[in-house]
Amino acid sequence: MYKLNGVMYSKEQIREKVIELAKEIEKDYAGEELLVVAILKGASVFCADLIREINLDVNMDFMCVSSYGNSTTSSGTVKIIKDLDVDIKNKNVLIVEDIIDSGQTLSSLVKALNTRKPKSLRLCTLLDKPQRRASDIKVDYVGFVIEDKFIVGYGIDYAEKYRNLPYIGIVEDI
């Protein structure tokens, strides 16, 4: 049995961090156009808050990906369930994730998107669990670095539950 057990980051702490990240992004892309790509479903809440704090010409698109089982196919391959609507050739693309764990999902996504020749491709994640990293990816904007705990809320689920929590909570085995 799993149970929600404690708050890791409050609504206020998340809000502060989102503004901090947005201002950094705004500074780095000053004078440029930016396509922000939210990875569904988890990053949708974070991304919606983030883009509203970025004072630039921002376009938004979505992708939904799922990792293949690691035993049947070569590791680090993603299946694209919903692809981008727009062509990213010569565009500044910022991928927005909720949480990076092994990094497999993002590393294969980056490979796939780089073949489309964007002008630039960077990664932003609200949460990072570097302890379990299995592929070396460079994440350009990181909100919180956390220990290896299972967290939920602010878009992130456990079995599709808890996405609507306004804070980030910890789920524990009881």
Residue placing its CB nearer to ligand IMP in the complex, 56 or 129: 129
SS3 151: strand
With CB cut-offs between 5 and 8 Å by kind, which of Mg ion, ligand IMP, none does residue 156 bind? ligand IMP
**Residues in the site for ligand IMP, rule: CB under 6 A?**
42, 67, 97-105, 150-152, 156
Do residues 128 and 146 lie in contact, with contact meaning Cβ atoms separated by under 8 Å? yes
Residue recorded with tokens 């669990």: 129
Q: What is the CA radius of gyration of the chain?
A: 16
Residues 6+ positions from 156 with CB-CB distance below 8 Å: 42, 98, 99, 127, 162, 163, 168
Residues 6+ positions from 80 with CB-CB distance below 8 Å: 63, 64, 65, 112
Judged by CB under 5 A, does residue 42 bind Mg ion?
yes
Which residues carry out catalysis? 101
Shortest distance, position 112 Cβ to ligand IMP, whole Å:
14
Size of the site for Mg ion (CB under 5 A): 1
Residue placing its CB nearer to ligand IMP in the complex, 23 or 132: 132
Residue placing its CB nearer to ligand IMP in the complex, 49 or 101: 101
Q: Please give the C-alpha separations between residue 19 and each of 22, 24, 26, 50, 58, in angstroms, as whole numbers.
A: 5, 9, 10, 7, 16
Shortest distance, position 28 Cβ to Mg ion, whole Å:
24
With CB cut-offs between 5 and 8 Å by kind, which of ligand IMP, Mg ion, none does residue 150 bind? ligand IMP
Binding region for Mg ion (CB under 5 A) out of 40-48, 61-69, 78-86, 116-124: 40-48
Residues in contact with Mg ion by the rule CB under 5 A: 42
